[in-house]
Every structure is written in C-alpha cells, then in structure tokens.
Structure 1
Amino acid sequence: MNGLSFGELCCLFCCPPCPSRIAAKLAFLPPEPTYSFVADEAGSRHSLHLADRAEWQYSQRELDAIEVFQTRTKRGNRIGCMFVRCSTNPRFTILFSHGNAVDIGQMSSFYIGLGSRINCNIFSYDYSGYGVSSGKPSERNLYSDIDAAWQSLRTRYGISPEHIIIYGQSIGTVPTVDLASRFECAAVILHSPLMSGMRVAFPDTKRTWCFDAFPSIEKIGKVMSPVLVIHGTEDEVIDFSHGLAIYERCPRAVEPLWVEGAGHNDVELYGQYLERLKQFVSHELPITD
C-alpha cells in the first residue's frame, strides 16, 4: 500500500475516481520477477527456475518437487501457478494469495516452511502483471485470477472445497474474501486484512462509497466458512482497526490472533503465529473424507 500525495488527495475529493484508479494507486507494486518457468523438450511440462533474489532456502530436491504451470483467466490473462507438496498425508491444501510487493518465487521458501509445519500442501498463484503472469494488476483481475486458481485446484488436482483453506495476506485478503463470499470451503485465514481501499487511504472514512475499491467489509458477512483473522497491533500499513472490524463482521469467526507489537511484515516472526495456525488447522477444523 502506498501513501497519496496532496494533489492526489484533492483529486479524490474533487473528482472521485473509479475503483480501478484507487486500486492502482493504493495497492499494486509488482516486483521484478524472481523466477521463470522452463519448459521441457516436449513443451508439456515446466520446471521452476529461481533467481538469486528469490532467496531460496532449501535443496534442489524440494525445488524439483514444486509443480508449476500457467492457466488462463476469464479475463484472458495467463497466470503463473505453483503447487507445493509439503506433506505425504496433508490435512488440507491452502490456496494462498500473497501480499503486494512479492511474487510466488520469493514466497516459495516460506510456503515450504509453513506447509511442512502445519501439515498442509500449498497452492499459490501470481496476480495478473506479477511474475510470469500476463496482463496488468487491477481489482477486477484479482477476482478473475483467484477464480482461475480455485478452478485449477478443483479440476487439475481434484481437491474438494471441504479440503481447501483459503488464505489471504494483505492485498491477498481482497480476492480471498471475494471468493469465500461465493464458495464455502474448509476455512478462511485473513492475515492483515483491509476493510476497503478508501478506509486505508482515509482512516476516518466510515462508509463504503460507490467508487471505493476492495470493499471486503461489505462482503465478509457472506462468508459462511470458519474465519481466522490475524493482525499485528502496530501495523503501519493497514491499521489494526481493519482487522478488528473484519473480525466483528464475520458470521463464523474463530478466536483471532492479535500479535502485540507486530507490524505489517513481521507477524510471521512471532512464535504465536505458527502456534495459532497449528491449533486452528489440527484441532479446530474437522477433516472430512
């Protein structure tokens, strides 16, 4: 999320922009790609090649076990997808929507570490305009991107909704809430969620305007799956009040995790983060055959 200049603030008040303009100004900072997909001789399968910037922390064996491919969205973009097998007998598969200024190459080591510790496989994807994904990032593309990822997880891997946990971090909570408001799943995890774009840019905003972007606060009431909300109390990018408001609107919220002293990008470094996820996944969610 970025700050807005004085001129941009004036434009918002004097000439309210369309949601895509707000989204572009507030949210999207795609990094220079940290990975590529390398096709085999037949061109039917791809392997993951990571740049040094991805800061890979494991061996070639783990890298070779990551499956990658591209799938097309309903808006015509081709998005990069990654399936990380972390367990031979996983309780669930997590559909992970990452934060703003990273791509799935940078996240790959984190996915292995997280999945192996909570006994879940992880499926992730890059938003349009991120990594190897074509197109440009926009709010509408976010929703189309996660729909394509969901369909790939359902059809390519045959995983049923009751075995899928939808996890969103920061801007990734926007498509996560949208998807979860339309499809039931095993559970939803919202890590540093935002109420809406205007409420991030203008903290005193008390209502959702017609030109607002990312109106998760208006959709969260439709999420019928169990929801775990995680937020740092000293978040300098998306204020802690956003997490609180989202939690209070959840019909099936479980005990949240408020990480005292944590900011926007360091929640995972606190011991209670992993412990709360283990408790949630292993003991609070029933597994169905």
Structure 2
Amino acid sequence: MNGLSLSELCYLFCCPPCPSRITAKLAFLPPAPTYAFIEEDSPSSSNSSSSPSPPVSNCSLHLTEKAEWQYSRSELEVIDVFYTRSRRGNRVACMYVKITDSPEFTILFSHGNAVDLGQMSSFFIGLGNRINCNILAYDYSGYGASTGKASEANIYSDAEAAWETLKTRFGLRPDQVILYGQSIGTAATVDLATRHEVAGVVLHSPLMSGMRVACPDVRRTWCFDSFASIEKITRVTSPVLVIHGTDDEVIDFTHGLALFERAPRTVEPLWVEGAGHNDVELYGQYLDRLRKFIQVDIRSS
C-alpha cells in the first residue's frame, strides 16, 4: 500500500472512483501461486449455489520451492486442504492445520497481502504448535488456488465461507473460534466479527480504512472508501487484542491505536517497540501476548 501522487489525490477527491477501484489500487497484490491442490476425485463444490457447498474432502497439497517450506515432509501430514464455495460463486482454497485432537480454540486466520497459503504454511505450523491451537486459513479470491478476482466484496464473502466451513465440516461453536486477521486480513476479520460473536478477535497490524492508509491526513470515512474497519469495529462484541509495530512503514501505528480506542471490548494491546509491518511475530513478546490472550484474557472477559 503506497502513497498516492498529488494528481491521484486530486482525481480521488474531484472524481472519486467506486470503492472497488480504490481497493484494487491500494490493497491486492496476489503473488504467483506457491502451491497447488491436487484433486483426487471430482469436486463436490463444483456446482453453483447461493450458499456455501460442502468442501472437497479429497485433495492433496503440493508446495513449490517458492513456498519455502521449513519442516520435514512428515509435518505435511497435519495439513488438510480442500475447497469450499463462497456465496459469490468462487471456489475458496482452505488449509486446516491440525495440531491437537482436542483444541480448546481454533484460529480462523485471514492472512496479509502479497502472500498465499503456501507461503504461510510453515508459519501456521509454528504458530499452532506454540499456542496449542488448530488453524483454518483460506486464500482470498484470485489468490493461490482460489478462483475469481480479488475485491472487497469477495474478501468478505471468502471469510464467511471459511466461517461456515468451521461450523459444518468441523462442528465448531462460535465460542471455540478465535478470529485472527493480519494487515489487509484484519478488514475481513472485523467484518466477520460484526456478524458473529466469538471467543476472541486478534487484529495484527490493522488498518482503519483504505483511504486512511493512502492519505494519512484523512480524518473521516468517505462514501468511496474501502475496508472501513474504523466504522465497523464499534459493532464487534467479542474481546479484541490489537497488535501493532510502532515503526510500521506500511500501515502506520496510529491505525492500530485508533481501532483499539474504538473497539467496545478490548484487552491490553501489544505495541511492539521498533517493529515494522512484517516482523512483529519475530519479537518474543508476540507469542507471550497471544498465549496470555488465549489462556487468561478470553477466559476472564
């Protein structure tokens, strides 16, 4: 998400484009896919439907070198991959990382921009093991093996499809789920959390809105803005943990601070001194704070 030139700013305010065009300009940079799903039988979700269809159960995961897998092949056995279908008709690639047979909580993870499930797979293994949670992640439309095109409407629909999968495929209740969003994924997480009260919500390097990232001096939400989490966060009734690096060069630290101040049920935030946009998880306090959120804050809220 880069700043806009003077001419682009003038165009935005004099001839504002539709929200989807701002979204495409500011947010979506899907990488070349770093993985593939190998379907072992005909996909059960290939038919079109107004509601999510059952996921494909018989897929195997193929990672390319660009995925930079950090574990042995045996660790791949804890990863289950399948498709579900969104209400907007796109096939959504899902990755389920099973760390334990009896998890207290399962993470529904909405990842950041410019990565896909293949690149995130090693991180999911490491994170799940360290916080003892299973993780369900998904790729946005137009990312990885997911079909369609990235858009704000699609990203929300993709998140909802993943949510439905947690209920139908894994039989989870809302109070067994933690929604976790990173960067652009926090927009999908906040949107989902406005409709479903869950055990907890983690916003990792969140943004207030698309326009506020591009134009730091913007102080209101325009009708053509996108990803307006700053407006939606007031309707989130679950406990919210905000994590942000103080030296974030992509989404300024003030975004996380503003969301923390407006969320109705926040817990103690984590402001990682000196951390940027892509290295917060390398700091020791990151895992410590997540564990405390899961083991203490959620139970006492």
TM-score bracket for the superposition, by shorter chain length: over 0.9
Corresponding position of 1:71: 84
Residues 186-205 of structure 1: CA distance to partner in whole angstroms, max 9, x if unpaired? 00000001001111111111
Using the alignment, how far apart are the partners of 1:40 and 1:174 within structure 2?
Answer: 34
Q: Residue 167 of structure 1 corresponds to which residue in structure 2? A: 180
- Asked if 1:146 is matched to 2:159, the reply is yes
| Residue number in structure 2 paired with 1:80 | 93
C-alpha contact (below 8 Å) 2:181/2:189 kept by paired residues: yes
Aligned to 1:212: 225
State the partner residue of 1:93. Answer: 106
- Per the alignment, residue 34 of structure 1 pairs with 34
Q: 2:146 matched to which residue of 1? A: 133
1:52 alignment partner in structure 2? 65
| Contact kept? 1:235, 1:263, Cα under 8 Å | yes
Tell me if structure 1 keeps the 8 A contact 2:3–2:215: no
Offset at residue 121 of structure 1 (A): 0.3
- The whole-number CA distance in structure 2 between the counterparts of 1:40 and 1:209 is 47
Q: Distance in 2 between matches of 1:65 and 1:115?
A: 11
Q: Displacement of 1:14 after TM fit?
A: 1.8
* Separation of aligned partners in 2, 1:65 and 1:54: 17
Please list the CA deviations of residues 15-38 of structure 1 after superposition, one character each: whole Å capped at 9, or x if unmatched. Answer: 111110110010000000000011
1:60 Cα deviation (Å)?
Answer: 1.5
2: CA distance, partners of 1:103 / 1:89: 27
Pick one of 238, 242, 257 that aligns with 1:244: 257
Structure 2 Cα separation of the partners of residues 2 and 142 of structure 1: 20
Runs of 4+ displaced beyond 4 Å? 41-44
Q: In the alignment, does 2:16 pair up with 1:12?
A: no
Amino acid at match of 2:244: H
Cα distance in 2 for partners of 1:273, 1:95 equals: 18
Query: How many angstroms does 1:51 deviate by?
Result: 0.3
SS of aligned partner of 2:184: helix
CA change 1:267–1:76 in 2 (3 A) is same
Query: Gaps spanning 5+ residues in structure 2: where?
Result: 44-56
Counterpart for residue 61 of structure 1 = 74
The letter of the residue matching 2:74 is R
Residue 107 in structure 1 maps to residue 120 in structure 2: yes
Query: Is the alpha carbon distance of 1:153 and 1:258 closer, same or farther for their aligned partners in structure 2, counting shifts above 3 Å?
Result: same
Whether the aligned pair in 2 keeps the contact of 1:89 and 1:119 (CA below 8 Å) is no
- Deviation track 1:197-242 (CA, whole Å, cap 9, x = no partner) reads 1111111111101111110000000000000000000001000000
Secondary structure of residue in 2 paired with 1:94: strand
Does structure 1 conserve the Cα–Cα contact (< 8 Å) formed by 2:39 and 2:59?
yes
Determine which of 126, 132, 143 is the counterpart of 1:119: 132
State the Cα RMSD in Å. Answer: 1.3
Query: How far apart in 1 are the matches of 2:5 and 2:69?
Result: 36
In structure 1, C-alpha distance between the alignment counterparts of 2:199 and 2:153, rounded to whole Å: 25
Distance 1:144 1:84 in 2: 22
SS for the counterpart of 2:234 is helix
What are the ranges of 5 or more consecutive residues in structure 1 without an aligned counterpart? none
Q: Report Cα offsets for 1:116-169 as digits up to 9, x if no partner.
A: 100100000000000000110000001100000000111111011000000000
Q: Report the Cα distance in structure 1 between the residues aligned to 2:138 and 2:2, rounded to whole angstroms.
A: 23
Q: Distance in 2 between matches of 1:42 and 1:219?
A: 39
Contact 1:2 1:27 in 2 (8 A): no
Paired amino acid for 2:201: V
